């Protein structure tokens, strides 16, 4: 039986859920000849209660955190110190399993060489436990045409509550009480979270060098939406949704996030009711639909566990597409901005 020593960076909702999954997987891991040993958990506050995690494993000191481990699991979020530790782990030759879409989007130039070598695993970064990254990576044999997705559950909740008659302020306060908002709510309502995710998807499917700054320039949130605007759209047979898109424009690939008007029968409206949804179109495969839970500690932790199995089985991480996909002469669906 081989012992695999794991360092965990972050012990919030996802980190605690992942540690809670470990006992359930002991027999399955043993069948692979593996015993996992969680040796260290780096957190911001050591005194905070973290049910299920032995207090002696907790540390706030990054010094020596990576010593003597075989793999780093990162679920802390953020791009600063967390990003530095992820890069240190990769530079040491350690594989990294992460759910951190912000880090992937904003520090891609540093991370890309490791991703190209298959050392970076990040299925949990988009749509949590719904395995869209692996599925999209398997479509390189097609000519991608476009991709559209509802990938931020918080905005979907706010829009639904306004459709039901709540004001934006009321819906926002409800989302806060329910714990749906990021620590910085602008990441949700400003479209930044969705922009991070479409950036990750774009590099995996059409352009390995897709620039975060260019995505950010085309990102618009939902702060301006009102119950009246949503009601008027509904009367016209439409629904307004925050959609992240990837499409060709003037011979180049563009990633954008903005509220758009969709027919009520549009797949994103039907599939994205209460969950995340993606529509991919390519040739010759045609149109594919993906839908499932896109948030939640246990759901996200399950994708982190899936990536751990992927690494243990010897499969590489999520590599970006090797070169940019031609974007000339492609006809795409025109979405009306709201």
Contact 72, 7 (CB under 8 A): yes
Tell me: is residue 13 an annotated ligand-binding position. yes
Tell me: is residue 12 an annotated ligand-binding position. yes
Task: Considering only the C-alpha atoms of the chain, give the largest distance between any 2 of them, rounded to a whole number of Å.
Answer: 63
Residue 262 phi/psi, 5° resolution? -125, 145
Tell me: is residue 15 an annotated ligand-binding position. yes
Q: Which two tokens stand for residue 225?
A: 């939406």
Contact 248, 328 (CB under 8 A): yes
Positions annotated as catalytic residues are 197
Task: Give me the residues paired with residue 337 across strands.
Answer: 260
Tell me: is residue 163 an annotated ligand-binding position. no
Tell me: is residue 83 an annotated ligand-binding position. no
Cis peptide upstream of residue 284 (ω within 30 degrees of 0) = yes
How many residues in total does the chain contain? 338
Tell me: is residue 14 an annotated ligand-binding position. yes
Strand 58-59 versus strand 120-121 pairing type = unpaired
Tell me: is residue 221 an annotated ligand-binding position. no
Tell me: is residue 2 an annotated ligand-binding position. no
192-205 and 108-116 helices, crossing angle to 10° = 40
First to last CA, the chain: 57
Binding residues for NADP(+): 10-15
Binding residues for NADPH: 101
Binding residues for L-homoserine: 182
Binding residues: 10-15, 101, 182
């Amino acid at each position: 039986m081989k012992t695999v020593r794991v360092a965990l960076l972050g012990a919030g909702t996802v980190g605690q859920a992942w540690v809670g999954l470990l006992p359930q997987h002991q027999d399955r891991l043993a069948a692979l000849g593996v015993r996992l040993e969680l040796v260290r958990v780096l957190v911001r506050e050591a005194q905070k209660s973290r049910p299920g995690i032995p207090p002696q494993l907790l540390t706030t000191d990054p010094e020596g955190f990576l010593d003597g481990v075989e793999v780093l699991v990162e679920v802390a979020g953020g791009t600063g110190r967390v990003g530095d530790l992820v890069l240190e782990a990769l530079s040491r030759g350690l594989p990294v399993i992460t759910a951190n879409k912000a880090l992937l989007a904003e520090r891609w130039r540093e991370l890309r060489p490791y991703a190209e070598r298959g050392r970076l695993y990040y299925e949990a970064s988009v749509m949590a436990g719904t395995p869209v990254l692996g599925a999209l990576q398997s479509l390189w044999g097609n000519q991608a045409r476009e991709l559209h997705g509802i990938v931020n559950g918080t905005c979907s909740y706010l829009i639904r509550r306004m459709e039901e008659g709540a004001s934006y302020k009321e819906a926002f306060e409800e989302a806060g009480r329910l714990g749906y908002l990021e620590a910085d709510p602008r990441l949700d309502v400003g479209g930044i979270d969705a922009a991070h995710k479409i950036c990750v998807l774009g590099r995996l499917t059409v352009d390995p060098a897709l620039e975060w700054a260019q995505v950010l320039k085309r990102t618009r949130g939902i702060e301006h939406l009102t119950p009246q605007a949503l009601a008027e759209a509904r009367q016209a047979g439409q629904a307004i949704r925050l959609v992240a898109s990837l499409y060709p424009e003037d011979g180049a690939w563009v990633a954008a996030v903005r509220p758009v008007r969709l027919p009520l029968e549009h797949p994103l409206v039907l599939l994205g009711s209460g969950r995340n949804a993606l529509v991919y179109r390519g040739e010759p495969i045609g149109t594919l639909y993906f839908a499932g839970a896109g948030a939640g500690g246990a759901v996200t932790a399950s994708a982190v566990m899936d990536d751990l199995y992927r690494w243990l089985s010897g499969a590489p991480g999520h590599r970006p597409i090797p070169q940019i996909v031609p974007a000339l002469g492609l006809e795409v669906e025109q979405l009306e901005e709201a």
